[in-house]
Structure formats: C-alpha cells, structure tokens
Amino acid sequence: MDVHLLTYDLSRGLARQMSQGMLGFHLDAIYHTSIQLNGREYVYDGGIVDITPGTSHLGQPMERIFLGKTELPMEVIEEFLDSLRPIFTAEAYDLWRHNCNNFSDSFSQFLLGKGIPEHIIKMPDAVLSSPMGRMLMPQLNQVINSNRQNGSILGIQNNSTPPGYGSAPQPTKPQSNIRIVSSSQELDAALESARKSCAVVLFTSATCPPCRAISPIFDEVSAEAGSKATFIKVDVAQLTPLPGKDYPRATPTFITYLHGEKENEWAGADPAALRGNVQLLLQMAWPRHPHESLKLPSFSNPNAKPVLFSKVPPLAKLLGKMGSAADESAVQATKQFIEARDKQGAAAAVLPNLGEFSGFLQKSVQTLPVEILFTIVDLFRCALVDARFSGYFAEEKGHTTVLAILRLVNSHSDCPYALRLVTLQMACNFFSTPLFPEEILRNETLRAPVIQLISSSFLDDSHNNVRVSASSLMFNLALFSNKVRREKPGDVLPDGDAVELAASVLEAIGQEESSPEALQGMLLALGNLVYCTPSDSEVSDLLRAMDAEDTILAKKKQFPDEKIIVEVGSELLGKGLRRPLGVDTVKEVPSLVWRHCPGNSAPPAFLPIGQPSKQARPPRVGMWASQRQRYHAIFEELKQTLCGLSLDHRLLPPAVYEMPALYSSASTPSLRSHDGPVRMDGGGNVRVVVRVRAFLPREIERGAECLVEMDPITQQTTLLVPNDSDPANAKAKTRKVIEEKNFTFDNSFWSHDLSDKYYAHQEDVYNSLGEEFLDHNFEGYHTCIFAYGQTGSGKSYTMMGTPDQPGLIPRTCEDLFERIESAQNETPNISYNVRVSYFEVYNEHVRDLLVPVVANQPPYYLKIRESPTEGPYVKDLTEVPVRNLNEILRYMTMGDRSRTVASTRMNDTSSRSHAVFTIMLKQIHHDMETDETTERSSRIRLVDLAGSERAKATEATGQRLREGSNINKSLTTLGRVIGALADAKAGSRKRSKDVVPYRDSILTWLLKDSLGGNSKTAMIACIAPSDYEETLSTLRYADQAKRIRTRAVVNQDQISSAERDAQIAAMADEIRALQLSVSESRRREKDTKDQEEKLEEYQNHVATMQRMMEERSLVAEGKIRSLQTENEALRLHLKLALESLKNPIPAVTIKPPEAEEVEDEAQRAKSAGLEGKEENGEDAESLYDDSDDAAYDSDVMEDNASDMQEYMRSLLSDLGMFRRKIGDDKERWVGEAPSAGSKMNF
C-alpha cells in the first residue's frame, strides 16, 4: 500500500507572506500533516481519527508527498493505532511538542521505518526561537485549551473509528463481518472456512420487504458475534445452484451450520428468533470450559496485564559504561526519548530515528564485547516500554534486530548474568504492544529463541532475578496465548512448544527452594498455560504423567504463605485435569429379567453415556404410560393373590397396600390417596399440585416436543430426556442428560392436550383444590394457595383465568358467596362479614392495588409491621367490606388494572410483581338455646407469584431487567425459606436450621404464617411442556415444598350469655369512661386556650413596658451624661479657684511721675548710657525704684480676698447641691428597673 504525507497550511498563506518580518526568518507554512493510507486519512486531532482524504474543513492538502510503500496488513496497522490511542489523546495535545506532526512521524516510522521531513517536525521549535513566537505562545495555548474542551483541537470529525482515550465518548457501532456470496462455489468455500466453528447463512432478495427489515438486525448480530461465527448473505436471485443441491427460495430464510453440518433452518423476519438461534449456536460452538467453574481467581480475569520492566536506570552512568558507543547520535537521541518519557510522559517524548537505532543495535551485537553489550540491551529495554517503539520492532522485516540479540544470548552457555537478565526483561517489554506477541506466536523463527531463552534461564539456580524474569516472560507468553484461546478455537501456541514450556517450568518449580517471587511467577505462568486447555491436549497428558499436582502441593511445606500453591495444585491441576467420570458401557439388563416385563421380548440396546443416538427418537406419547399401566396391573394381581391367600386382611404386610404408590427419591407420602382426597387436619404437609400448560405459538413454530408425562392414577409426573434438536434445551444437551426424572405430587393436572380425556380444565383444578380449601375456611382455618413457575408457564391463567375460563380466585369468590347465601337461608342465626384486600409486591415494595393510581405521581408504598399475635401485616392497607359477588369482582378488576405488567420475549403480558388477594371471612353464630355466641375468623390468601425468568431468555433491559432481578431475588429467598422449613431432623419436629430467612424478602416476610405458621397452604407448580431446565427446576422446587409442615388451628371464640353481658357491660363502662375523658379533655383544652389568651395579653403588655423603659432609660442616660459634663466643668473651675487662693497675685498700682522726676530720669538715663560702655556686664536699673512697695494698696487686696472667699463658698454650696441632685436622679432611674423587671416576670 502506498503511504502519502498530506500537508496543510493552517495560516492559509499568511506565514509565507509575513513570517520574514514578524519572525525574522522565512516560513513556508504553519504545517498540519496527516497520513493517507488505503484510501483513508489518519490524523491526530484530540484523538486518532480517520476520515476520507480532503473532506475536512481544511479543504484539499497543500502538498501530497509520497513516503513509500508498506506491506503490513491493515489488521496489524489498526492494532498499532489502538496501542497509540492512550498516548495521542485530547489532554496530551501540545501545539509545540506533541501535535499532529509528531503523530504523522510516529506512524510513518512504523509503516516505513522512516519519519516525515525534518523541517516539518522542527517548525514549532523554530517559531519559539523568535521573540514574536514566544510572545504569541500564551495566546495560542489559550486557544488550544479552549478547543480541547470539545474533544477536538481543529474540529476534524471522526467518521469511522471510535474516539481515542481521553476524548469525549461517542456511541460506536461494531463492524460486521458479513460475506456476500453470489455462487454455489463461493458459498461452499465460505462454509468450509467456518468448519471449525459455526456459520449463519441468510438467503435474501433485493425485492423482499421483510428482507430489508431484517437485514440491519442481521448486520448487528454479526457485529456482536465478531469472529466467533461466519455470517454469509446470499441473494437467491443471483445464486445458481449446482446439480444435487437445493437451496431455499423463500426469503428471508436462515440456515445455521455447526462444525460444517447443518444445525437449524427457519424462515421469517423475526428478530427475536434470529438473536435467540444465533446465541444458541454460539453457545454450542463455544461451550463453557470446565475450568471456568473452578475457584481460580488468579486466572479467570480476562483483563490481566502483562509484566513490564519499565524502571529507568541512571542513564548517565549507563552511557558511561558504553564507552565510545555512547557518542553515537542514535544512542543520544534514544537517551533523550527515554528521559522525556520517564519525566514528562509518553506524550512529551518524540521518537528518535528508529531505523538508525536499529542499525546501531545490529552493529553493536557484532562488534561490542559481551561484557558491555548489556548496556546497549538495557537501553533498548527502556525504550521498548513505549508502544510506538515496540510496535516498530514488532513489524520489522525479518525481525533482524531482535533475533540478533536473542541468538547471541542463547549461543553463550556461560552468558554473563547482566546480559541474560536485561535480555529477559527486554523480551518482557515486547508485550507493551499487542503486535509483538502475535508475531511471536505466529512466527516460528521468532518464537523458538524466545522459548529457548525461557527454558535455559530456568536452569540458573544461582540468580533469583533471572528465574523471576524468566517466569515473567513465560507468564506474558502464556497470558496472551490464553486470551487468544478464549476468542477462537484451537490454540495458537503449538503443542510442542507448550509441552516444552510446561516441562521446563514444572522442573524449575520442583527445584525452587529459595525465592518465593520466582515460585509465584512460575505458578502463574504454568496456570495461564494450562487454564482452559482441552482435557485431552498434550500439555494435560504431560502434567498428569509428571504428577504435577503432587509436585506443586509439595511446595506448601517450604512456602506455607503462598496461597497460589493450593489454587494451582488442588484446583487447576487437581480438579481441572481430572478426566470426566463416566462409564463406557451400561451394564446390560439380563434377558430373563427383561422378558418378565409385559410387552417386551428382547432387551433394549443401551448406548454409552455421552453418545446420543443417531436414530430418530421413537414417539413417546403413550409408550411409557402403557408401561406404567402394565406395572400397575402386575401389582394389582399380586395384591389380589395375597389377599385371596390370607384369611384376614390384617395379616397382610403393610407393603402390600403401599405397592401402587411410586415415589420420587425425595418425596413424602402424598396428602391425597389414589381413591380420593384425604382431609387435611390441623397439622400437615403443604399440599403440592403440578399443572402443565399447552404449547405456545412460538413453541409450535420451532417444532417443540413435550417433555412431560403424567399418570392420572399414581399422580406421578415424569420429565423425559430432551431432544437434541430443540434449541430451547441446549443447556440440557451440554449437561448430557440421559435419564428421566420422576416426581410424585398430590395432584397432577394434565392441561397440555385439549383432546386428551384426562385434560384438566379450570373447573377441575378448583374442584380438586379450591373447593377443599374453602371448606377449611368455613371451618375457621387460615388458608393460602400460591402458584409458582417460570414466566409464561400459566400461573396467572391458573389463578385469575379469563372471562370465559375463570381461574381459581374468581371461582373461590363465586363459591364463597353462594355458600354464604345458602347458609343464611338455612341458618339465619349466623351472620357473615367479608372483607377483601389486594396488594402487590413490586421491586421489594408493597403497593395497595385498591388505591387508584394518580397520573404523573410517584406510587405510594406501604410499610410492613409485625404483631405479636397476628404476625406480619401491611400497615394502612385498604380493607373494603363486600356484600356480594359483583362487589368483590369489581374490586378485583380494579386491582388487576393497577397491577404492574409488561411484555417480554417470553410472555406478552408478563406479571412484574407478586399479587396477593386476601379475603377475610368472619362468621358469628348465635345459639338461641344456650344464648352463646361463636365467632370464627379465617383468611383466604390467594397469591399469584411473578414468574422466575432469565435475562438472556427474556432479553430484558433497563426497568424490565431490574424488575426481573427483584423477582428472582424474592423467589430465591422463597426457595431458601422452603429449604429451611423442609430441613427437619429425623424423628423430631424441630428443624435443624434455627433461623428461617423470612426477613430477607418482603414476600417471604408476608407469607411467614402461610409457610410455617397458622395456615393450611397449597402450592400449584406450573410448568412448561418443552423447557427442560426450567421445568426440572420447578419440579424440584415443588418436591422440596412437600416436606413443609404447617400448624393450622381453628380461629374460633365461644362466648356464653353471661360472658357476653359482662363484656357488653365492660365495654359500656369503657365507653362512658372514654366519654368522660373526652369531656375532661375538651374542658382542659378550653381552659388551656383561655390561659394561652391571657398569657398572650400579658406578654404584649410586658413588651410595651419594655419599650417604654428602654425609651426612658435612653433619656435618663442622656441627662446623666449632660450632668456629668457640667460637674466636670465645675470641678475644673473650683480647682482653678483653689489654686488662685493658694497663690494670690497682688494688685499693682502705677503712679504717674512728676515733671521734675521725668527730667531727672532723662538725665540719669543719658549718663547711664555713657557709663554703660565702661561698665560691661552690669544690670540696668530696674523699672521700679525701691519705693515701689509703697505703691501697693493693702485695702484693695483685703477686699479682693474677701470677695474671692465669698465666691468660693457659693461655688462649694452649688457643688454640694449638684451632687445631691445627681444622686437622687440616679436612685430614681436605677431603682425603677427592678420594679419593671419584676412586673415583666409576673
């Protein structure tokens, strides 16, 4: 196939025009690249997608570069792309280091061994080297991050492949593998290719509308089956049949082939039939392996991962040991790749030139010494962890690089420890891609040295790490072989290689004594090699011959903590390799014994177990019935003979009267004899009857065969061996059912063939069961009848019936009121009270069916409570009184309309809940002679259980699947309860199980009294005539229920006239006391109301006073603050006055000078000025002379002092009054608060 590189310019020419000015260098384009291969364009855009070339919004590519041709098949290429999806995700996209160009380069290296042009890869680095590029980097990253939220960077839509890891999930449709043929030769060739598995052929026509309708379903089923089956589509108009071959002409027609032989054929566009038949075909072609039923948790996980050695050593030290080889460009590039992957992740690691590195490895193997070659191999090991790296070498032509290393190591018997160890770890890392293990298992040239490396490494008893690595490599190889073995028939690992590996690892296990890690790895490797292998394979025979089980279990002494020893030794090799037990031939019945059986002249020919007869099965109807009639005739003759020989029948042994009874292996004596019904006393076993329905239309269409026979005399039910051709009994075929199953019940109702004289109608069922149980109700016993069986087995028909054929419940109601009406006419002193309730248990919730359903409102579920006397009951359940048949039928119809039903593949009107219809009957009889009253209370509980179902058979999904799960859960719990109740100790009435799990399910909790308490109970087992597995399960279920014993008692109270009068008087006194109590309560209520009104009034008054006090308090606080301010001012004034008294300032009086004195003064000043120059430093004369004291007036001073003292006395007087005023105000305002508070508390 040609490989082309498509290049696009995201700038649409702007880069070429403006790059020189903005970046400083010329740039031809902003490159976006993709790889074109096989008519598809592969591109990395938020994930690996493939589109039609040139159909994206980018338009046509700017350039289409031819890279070369590849010979790899598309399957290998697709697997490689799948391995790259975890690396190239939307989250890992980096515009500068991990972009579409890096993907194109990795893809090109895998396809051709060379990458894309270097200038495209280095274009982002060139842009970042410029200032403008670094400046634009944050804005561009922001745009990429915003686009990343949509799962796509450039908006390229994927129209073919599923989204990659990390991208937004999108619904995908698997590819179908339908082969279109137009000739008989092509059809034969296609069927021959499917001889090892199976094939489905559709004969269709282009002009057939049903064919066009079923064709998409056929494609979908083909895609779901995958490679497990071959799907072929044939156009009958184009098909030319060969002589001797007759192909169907009706369309659409389907024919299935199993291992080359025709298996089934049907016509019609029925999707359910198509899916069911194909699913059955796949189960027959791919049967479940016996190992899958063993307890093997270490090997049953299909998603187990291989062992990889990803630890990176110090690369600088590693390259230092290489010597001059470390300077090679291939080594440096690989070193950078490993470092980037280890530190930043696979997305940040850019692949080196793999072709150059491959050449370097091959050259190093030939030239470097063995002592330092381990450094090269270790570097190779670190790089192989990446799927891109290992994928390239997996598809390398001739695998020259890998084979050179493996052959070198295998050729040295004394290979250095370091080289062997890193080579084993390198081989383990091959499994980082799914391509390498496929090549190893497919290519003998590559597989042989790998197996040789494993076997030789197990012999190294001096290095534990070598044995651990060898076991890891074998584990990886066996794990992949095991996965392929599960997906397609056969084994991709040849028997010779598997035997060599098994022998070497078993020998290594026997010699392992020191390393638990090595032992664990060997056991895991051996387990995966053996798991799900055919029991007759060479590996299985070898392990049996070498006594592998004992060899492994012997290691338990040396390694007691290793749990996997028991898992592999006991389970896998012990039970898993054990040949299936069987008898080659059945012991022949002596001819003499056989001839004593009436109607037989020669013994039959028996076949070995497991070998089905190739002849057509003879008709069964009537054959076994006639045989049983002959047996009964013999018994009757013997009985009559013994009775005739005896003088007294009491002398006969009891066995004579037990001869006609044929019991199953786990049965108990029946409650009904063969002559007539046996009345049930207070304590007895649960009554069990079985009823088989007629064929359904779908069973008639597939040609189903009745597998049930019933004997009307012995009431024995026989389940016949299923026919291999019926697809509904494929599971029974795999189990190799070879014998019939016999069961004996109280009644066997044959409702299969309407023309049969023993056909049991609805009336017959009621006359045999319902009528008797209604008698018990009138006697005062509680009764319960419930129907059990798979979905579509006729339970609802038996219990409810149809308008033309009413079932057990309507007939019980009708008979009830007929008896009441008749009894009232005959005995008018008996009064009857009838009440009914109707509820369903849906998804483990109880819903009242007599409450109308409100549209768009969630249903209201009731709660379960338990009374010490009455047992479990439904709280707030509606119980309505009914007076006649019409009313009870009206309520029943209303409940049926509210019941949850849905359509499934098994039943169009499948009940999705358990319905319980309960009739409460109370009889009050007053005896006029004795003046006594007798009251009887009884309960009729009629239960219509939802059918057990398998999701695979009903194809239920969503809500239907959840409903089916809850139905099966409750029925499973019912089975556990029945098993616990039936598990009685021999000769004792005590049960061996102390706890009966009633409370594990709502259904069993409500049926607690009916199953093991005060009730007479009957079970109707409804079975389908053609479904072997479900019918067998139901019959075993019913057979176990026969052993349950109940303890029913008559619910009756008898009261004399005196007791009745006393009770009436006591009730009258109680009524009066209640009336007084009610009156007193009302009076107290009225007084309480008055007190509440007064209290409310007081509270309002207190609130008003509180508001007033708060206001007055605010005013008082303002006055106090103003008075305090005045007080402070007066205090300062007083302080100043006191200071002036202590330090008085005398008054100064200045007298005017006389004229003579003025002149003298002037002269003296003049002379003083002249003398001052000589007397430097002397003080000038004072302004006043020594006679200034005479200038003070003493009278004035005394007057001033007197005035000041008088003024101070007045201030002190005012200050005292002010203080008293403040104290009075404070006492008045503060004193009012307690009085107000006491008033509030009142």
Using the CB atoms, write b or e for 862-875: b if 16+ within 10 Å. Answer: beeeeeeeebbebe
Token pair recorded at residue 1126:
């005045």
Q: How many CB atoms lie within 10 A of CB 317?
A: 9
**Cα separations in angstroms, 510 against 469, 474, 1134:** 18, 17, 117
Q: Could you please report the per-residue DSSP string of 1121-1158? A: HHHHHHHHHHHHHHHHHHHHHHS------PPPPPHHHH
- Residue 857 annotated in ligand binding: no
How far is 782 from 413, CA to CA, in rounded Å? 88
Annotation-wise, does 795 bind a ligand?
yes
Q: Is 796 annotated as a binding residue?
A: yes
Which distant-in-sequence residues (6+ apart) come within 8 Å of 967 by Cβ? 912, 913, 914, 946, 947, 948, 949
Q: What is the largest CA-CA distance in the chain?
A: 198
Backbone angles phi, psi at 839, to 5 degrees: -140, 165
Please choose, from the candidates 659, 941, 642, 630, the residue with its C-alpha nearest in 3D space to the C-alpha of residue 808.
Answer: 941
User: What are the distances in angstroms from CA 1074 to CA 439, 1059, 1077, 1086?
Assistant: 94, 22, 5, 18
Helix (H) or strand (E) holding 837: strand 830-842
Residues forming a β-bridge with 1136: none
The answer to whether 247 touches 241, Cβ cutoff 8 Å, is yes
Within 10 Å of residue 661's Cβ, how many Cβ atoms?
16
Q: Among 531, 505, 529, 530, which residue's Cα sits nearest to residue 518?
A: 505
Nearest-5° Cα angle at 440, 434 to 446: 145
Eight-class DSSP state of 677: B
Q: Apex CA 160: angle with CA 157 and CA 165, to 5°?
A: 75
What is the DSSP secondary structure assignment for residue 245, as one 8-state letter?
-
For residues 248 and 268, give the distance between their C-alpha atoms in angstroms, rounded to a whole number: 12
CA distances from 517 to 431, 509, 512, 522, 881 (A): 21, 12, 10, 9, 76
In 3-state terms, what secondary structure has residue 665?
A: coil
Main-chain dihedrals φ then ψ at residue 43, nearest 5 degrees: -145, 150
Is 790 assigned a ligand-binding role in the annotation? yes
- Residue 789 is assigned to a ligand binding site: yes
1008 marked as binding residue = no
Residues 6+ apart with CB under 8 A from 19: 25, 26, 27
Q: Rounded to 5 degrees, what are φ and ψ at 647?
A: -80, -30
The residues near 715 (Cβ < 8 Å, ≥ 6 apart) are: 670, 672, 674, 744, 745, 746, 747, 748
Residues ≥6 apart with Cβ < 8 Å to 770: 785, 808, 811, 812, 815
Residue ranges for the binding site for ATP?
Answer: 789-796
Q: Which residues are annotated binding-site positions?
A: 789-796
